[in-house]
Structure 1
Amino acid sequence: MADHRTLPLPDYDHLPIGGLESRVRALTAEEVEELLAYERDHADRLPVTQLLTARLDQLRSGAEPTSGDPGALRPEQHGRRSGSPVSPATSPQPMSPPPHGTPDQRGKPKGDRT
């Protein structure tokens, strides 16, 4: 059984599937087999095993590893933030419930109409 520290991809356990898909293209068939065995022994995630099996089939059918850097930064390490920043300056102004009320707060009567 392989140890996670000796796998061909550093921090394999923390890679998102999208990052894994592009990074396995640089691996040899033996390295993909090692990852597949590790995946089956540990998390056994179906999308990951399918991805690794498909890449292994490609390599066995004559595909060559493409140039790439298996040690490249993971997408989540780029230091960029996604989404909109939340702060008091960007928060909406507090509002009162509509006059007809909300499920948790009843509406206020308009007064006596005669």
Structure 2
Amino acid sequence: MTHHEELPLEGYDQMTVGTIRDAIRSLDEEQLQKLLEHEHSHADRPLVKEIMTNRMVELSAGAEPTEGEPPSVSPSAQPRGKQKVGPETTAEPIIPPAHGVPTGHRPRQGPRR
């Protein structure tokens, strides 16, 4: 397979393992096999291959693909957890204590001789 648009999941190569786990539930055996072959010849991620193989077993045992469109990831989509940084999201500045011994806390001294 040479063209990514032939894959049953749009944006597959940018998907995280968790997204793939959810997305493949809507695929049938033929579509899942196509993705598994793509995974073997490209990223070859062991966990993704295991998830897909387990789903293939479920489908062959009688499980049905879930209804609805599978999630997709557009290449321009911002990764989950990333937020814009600006004055409203900036943390309060940390002012470190002055160097030396803090006032009122002197080291214990032994008896003078």
Q: Could you tell me the TM-score, scaled by structure 2's length?
A: 0.69
CA RMSD between the two structures: 3.3
- Which residue of structure 2 aligns with residue 105 of structure 1? none
Q: Which runs of 5+ in 2 are unaligned?
A: 102-113
The CA distance in 2 between the partners of 1:24 and 1:80, in whole Å, is 19
Deviation per CA, 1:9-38, whole angstroms, max 9, x where unpaired? Answer: 011101111111111111000100000000
The CA distance in 1 between the partners of 2:78 and 2:43, in whole Å, is 26
- Which residue of structure 1 aligns with residue 90 of structure 2? 90
Higher RCO structure (Cα 8 Å, ≥6 apart) = 2
Deviation per CA, 1:31-59, whole angstroms, max 9, x where unpaired? Answer: 00000000000010011111111111110
The CA distance in 1 between the partners of 2:82 and 2:98, in whole Å, is 33
Contact 2:12–2:72 (CA under 8 A) maintained in structure 1:
no
Contact 2:21–2:51 (CA under 8 A) maintained in structure 1:
yes
The CA distance in 2 between the partners of 1:69 and 1:78, in whole Å, is 20
Contact 1:2–1:38 (CA under 8 A) maintained in structure 2:
no
Contact 2:29–2:56 (CA under 8 A) maintained in structure 1:
yes
The CA distance in 2 between the partners of 1:51 and 1:9, in whole Å, is 15
Cα 1:54–1:91 change in 2 (3 A) is same
Q: Could you tell me the TM-score, scaled by structure 1's length?
A: 0.69
Q: Which runs of 5+ in 1 are unaligned?
A: 102-114
Structure 1 counterpart of 2:5, which letter? R
- Which residue of structure 1 aligns with residue 24 of structure 2? 24
